[in-house]
Amino acid sequence: MTTLALALLLAAANAPPTAPVAGDRVRIVEAPGGRPFTARVTDVLPGALVVRTDDRAAPRRLELSGVSRLEVSRGRHGHFGKGARVGLLIGAALGAALLAVTHEDEPPTDCTCDMFAPGFVAGALVVTGAVYGGLAGMAFRSDRWEAVPLPPGRTARVGPVLAAVPGGVRAGLSLRF
């Protein structure tokens, strides 16, 4: 049973990206080097999308031939791991500062538990920083974007052309659409 669940999970992870449907959030770059913008798909037409950048904006028809990159939002996710790492580093820095401030050149002659207190507090700062950082990372959620392949031959490509000619070499640029 576990093997079947794992196989289904791997198949879902390796599934090809699906085209956007009405209601999807998309991130679009219209021209190579252009600024991306997000919108909600209101309709899917052959070779075009009808999108709305916000609820009050008028729908806009966007020809796919003018799009250089298209991504679809596949849900939101938190950043627990990243937040925990940042919190751990902050806690470690505070713990190291505490140990540096409370360091004694001569260890006390009487063996008491107090001599371990700065080390314990420093360790607690590291753990506390990691926990609070992870919780803060969970609070900041972001979209998980999936690139959607566009039909080939839709973007302009520039490439060098070198050809041998009698007495030399011809150089040029090739522009393909």
Domains and CATH numbers, the chain: 2-77+143-150 (2.30.30), 80-139 (no CATH)
pTM of the model: 0.49
Q: Quote the pLDDT of residue 79.
A: 78
Span 65-117, pLDDT tens digits: 888 888 998 887 777 888 888 888 888 888 888 777 776 666 556 655 555 57
Q: Quote the pLDDT of residue 175.
A: 56
Q: Are 27 and 144 in contact (CB under 8 A)?
A: no
Question: What share of the chain in percent tops pLDDT 90?
Answer: 1
How far apart (Å, rounded) are the C-alpha atoms in residues 28 and 73?
Answer: 11
Got the DSSP string for 145-166? EEE-PPPTT-S-EEEEEEEEET
Strands of the chain, DSSP E? 25-29, 37-45, 48-52, 60-63, 69-77, 142-147, 157-165, 168-176
